[in-house]
Structure 1
Amino acid sequence: MAEDLLRYDILIQDALRGAVKKILAEVNRTGLPGEHHFYVAFETTAPGVRVSQRLKERYPQEMTIVLQHQFWDLNVGEHAFEIGLSFGGVPEKLVVPYSAIKGFFDPSVQFALEFDPGKTAEELPEELLEAVEELARAEQEADATLANATPVEAKPVDKTESEEIAANAEKSDNGGEVVSLDAFRKKP
């Protein structure tokens, strides 16, 4: 058998990654149509991937995200996409280069693509890699700042203090008026 000098396998994978990029761009432009939703699996260790340290610890090699009801700030770039998702009630911002994607699945129409993340002709631009590193450094600095912060203990408010606050609010002359809920209740 002749040697494949053109590397059709890489060309096809890059073309299919381009299809994923076009699908995400359309969703970014118009929203998810009908029952469509996506599972996107990617390598968390691939160059250019940005996930929080918390997620890296939980998913050291690979993770799958779901784009369905609750995602925000989808930004489809030339080499990667960014998205906001919630993990256990904690909002996170992810950056996923298309070259890191291992799988794309839309169960509403049984459409699936599978990729070999190591096989791509695309090289990530240096500025994307630097931006991801800078964001990771900023996140680590913010985490260190929070870890070193002195906790402030909440002081309980007693009933007389809360009544005083409410009385002062009623007296304030800022144009507002305090109305009790009883004013809106139906009277017999």
Structure 2
Amino acid sequence: MSKTIDYGNLMHRAMRSLIQQVLSDVQQDGLPGQHHFFITFDTMHPDVEIADWLSDRYPGEMTIVIQHWFANLDVTDEGFAITLNFGDNPEPLYIPYDAIKTFVDPSVEFGLRFETQDDDEADAPRDVAEAPMEEMVEPDDTSDDAPREAEVVSLDKFRK
């Protein structure tokens, strides 16, 4: 038995479970109201499945927007599959929860950020809303609504 409780990993598991529940609700009922999601994920994660041209264009990480047009949302215990439209080209993606770096719903100023011990920028946290625009991939988003700054939950205080 461990001598300490690993609150950081317990919180990560709980937050990923929250994302799974939110996406499951969207799969069943669609996006309610003005809700939409910015999800940044590690494109190099071994279980991520995206088109080669997307991984070439976004080596390391990519941010997708789930808002106006998406199809085939399939939520599982390990991750989710979704088809998004990139310049009139529907592309299927599979994103495991372990690959997610940030999850933001700017409509209600909610955000989660997952950090790892070996993250080079762990000592210099960056607000999700300040991510450079070239990192944002907005599939055919026709909305004029600019994302509002989101509250980001950080797990730094649980680390040794």
- Could you tell me the TM-score, scaled by structure 1's length? 0.59
Deviation at 1:89, TM superposition (A): 1.8
Matching of residue 93 in structure 1 with residue 92 in structure 2: yes
Aligned partners of 1:43 and 1:117 also within 8 Å: no
Matching of residue 33 in structure 1 with residue 62 in structure 2: no
Partner Cα separation in structure 1 for residue 70 and residue 116 of structure 2: 24
Partner Cα separation in structure 1 for residue 78 and residue 44 of structure 2: 16
Q: Which amino acid is the alignment partner of residue 44 of structure 1?
A: T
1:64 counterpart residue number: 63
Q: Which amino acid is the alignment partner of residue 12 of structure 2?
A: Q
Cα deviation digits, residues 98-141 of structure 1 (max 9, x gap)? 0000000001110001112679xxxxxxxxxxxxxxxxxxxxxx
2:45 counterpart residue number: 46
2:111 counterpart residue number: 112
Partner Cα separation in structure 2 for residue 103 and residue 117 of structure 1: 12
Partner Cα separation in structure 1 for residue 117 and residue 46 of structure 2: 10
Aligned residue pairs: how many?
117
Aligned partners of 1:99 and 1:117 also within 8 Å: no
Cα deviation digits, residues 57-91 of structure 1 (max 9, x gap)? 00010000100010000000110100000112211
2:83 counterpart residue number: 84
- Give the alignment of 1:127-166 within 5 angstroms: none
Q: What is the percentage of aligned positions where both structures have the same residue?
A: 44
Partner Cα separation in structure 1 for residue 105 and residue 32 of structure 2: 12
Gaps of 5+ in 2: 119-160
Mark the CA change 1:102 to 1:4 in structure 2 (over 3 Å): closer, same or farther.
farther
Partner Cα separation in structure 1 for residue 57 and residue 88 of structure 2: 15
Greater share of strand: 2
- Could you tell me the TM-score, scaled by structure 2's length? 0.69
Q: Secondary structure at the match of 1:28?
A: helix
Aligned partners of 1:37 and 1:66 also within 8 Å: yes
Partner Cα separation in structure 2 for residue 118 and residue 88 of structure 1: 36
The structure with higher relative contact order (CA 8 Å, sep 6+) is: 2
Alpha-carbon RMSD: 1.7
Gaps of 5+ in 1: 120-188
Aligned partners of 1:40 and 1:65 also within 8 Å: yes
Partner Cα separation in structure 2 for residue 23 and residue 32 of structure 1: 10
Aligned partners of 1:40 and 1:101 also within 8 Å: yes
Aligned partners of 1:41 and 1:62 also within 8 Å: yes
Deviation at 1:5, TM superposition (A): 2.7
